[in-house]
Amino acid sequence: MYTRGVPFNERGGTLRGALDVVSGRFPRFVFGGSVPADVLPVFHFHDVTCEDLEPKLRHLADNGYRTVTSDDIAAFVDRTARLDHRSVALCFDDAWASLWDVAAPLLKQYGMRAIAYAIPARIADADTTRPIAGTESRHGSPFVTWPELRELESSGVVDVQCHTDTHSRIFISGEVCGFVTPSYGSTPFLNQPQLVPPPMLRFVTPGDLGAPLYPVRSRMSDGTRAHVSIDAHRRCTELVARSGGAAFFSRADWRTTLERLAVTDGSTPVESEEEQNRAIEEELDRGRATLNDRLKTTRVNHICLPWGVSGRRTAAALKRLGYRSAFANRIRGVHAVKPGDDIYWLKRLPNKYIVRLPGRGRRWF
């Protein structure tokens, strides 16, 4: 991944993981200790399978763990409520279709609840819910549909909260760092950067063969959007389409050809401070408002920031908008929730650590 201009605290990878270990950011239970009464383990999932999820839920159920909601977490942090010493939170980011046909049935089976952070701009309408038939027969949207999300929320099994409106990465520079080639198809769906902002929302997809790529950061970071050339995007993609599509990249001169087409006159303009503040606030406000409106509720008032990235502008906007809590990562702090934590910088653990929780069947691998 091209990381020029991206602060270290917004990056993942092996080095970041090693730093977390040596700096003591993992709670003690990960290494065989107990879970203190003032520590709430919070685990995150994305797209899931039955084979991976069921053993983790079984471990929790067999050892008497209970699951909590977003409101419970906020009350625990501000010390207005105490939690059972075997409480945990299970967070399903993005609201993939597997939340509907894999996670929800298993949560019901084991008597547990989850928090789902949904992205309203990515959710499709549908006439009805899809059958619970397993991922092998899934079709349509890769995320839950609105009827499915409504049923999940009304069932009480899933506490639906916000994951911003569009879950976007934005270009922060006009410096070309690559192009969309056939291998771009392996880029995770939600990592594909935003080309055009709302309301004409458009992303750079694997179908945009030849499109220039630029350095990116999360829309929730303090990075400012660079208004890259749509004309350059069009010139490059149209040439590749006329030249055989994927076959174009077998030419020895494909890169130099696209580099010439991607050149623009003058510098790349960037958004103003006012535009940046407005765009961030709209992502936060519109995401929450759309979810509350479509779900006919007022309970959506918590958020998880995509990729765990937040900046000072986002933190200020969350406070201004009255969000009750936010999950976001940063260099300091333990990957767990404790009373008195900064309510807009709560932290979580990957779900692989569930089986390290104390109890029968505890594992270390």
- Tell me the pLDDT tens digit for each residue of 228-262: 999 999 999 999 999 999 999 999 999 999 999 99
Q: Is residue 68 within 8 Å of residue 40, measured between CB atoms? A: yes
In the chain, alpha helices (H): 14-22, 50-62, 70-77, 97-98, 104-110, 146-155, 230-242, 254-262, 273-295, 312-321
**pLDDT-based confidence at 8, cuts 50/70/90?**
low
The mean pLDDT of 40-60, rounded to a whole number, is 98
User: With respect to CATH, is domain 8-167+275-356 assigned 3.20.20.370?
Assistant: yes
pLDDT, position 66: 98
pLDDT at residue 267, as a whole number: 87
Do 179 and 210 meet the contact criterion of CB atoms below 8 Å apart? yes
Q: How confident is the model at residue 43 (pLDDT cuts 50, 70, 90)?
A: very high
Q: Which residue has the higher pLDDT, 13 or 37?
A: 37
Res 166: pLDDT: 98
Mean pLDDT of 303-312: 96
Confidence of residue 1 (pLDDT cuts 50, 70, 90): very low
CA atoms of 147 and 77, how far apart (whole Å): 33
Q: What's the pLDDT at 330?
A: 76
The domain limits of the chain are 8-167+275-356, 178-213+229-267
In whole angstroms, give the CA distance from residue 83 to residue 75. Answer: 9
pLDDT for residue 102 is more than 50: yes
Q: Which of 7-11, 155-159, 243-247, 287-291 has the lowest mean pLDDT?
A: 7-11
Question: What pLDDT score does 30 carry?
Answer: 94
**Beta bridge partner(s), residue 88:** 67
Average pLDDT estimate for 221-233: 96
Q: Which one-letter DSSP state was computed for residue 337?
A: B
Of the two residues 16 and 46, the one the predictor is more confident about is 46
For 70-95, write each residue's pLDDT tens digit: 999 999 999 999 999 999 999 999 99
Give CA separation, 111 vs 52, 55, 100, 254, 297, in Å. Answer: 18, 14, 16, 56, 23
pLDDT bin (cut points 50, 70, 90) of residue 67 is: very high
Place of tokens 């203190």: 36
Mean pLDDT over all residues of the chain? 93
Of 143, 120, 69, the closest CA to residue 285 belongs to: 120
How many CB atoms neighbour CB 49 within 10 A? 12
pLDDT bin (cut points 50, 70, 90) of residue 19 is low
Confidence of residue 17 (pLDDT cuts 50, 70, 90): low
Residue 3: pLDDT over 70: no
Assess whether pLDDT exceeds 60 at residue 105. yes
Is pTM beyond 0.85? Reply is: yes
Confidence check: pLDDT of 198 > 90: yes
317-343 pLDDT tens trace? 999 999 999 999 876 788 999 999 999
Q: What was the pLDDT predicted at 135?
A: 55
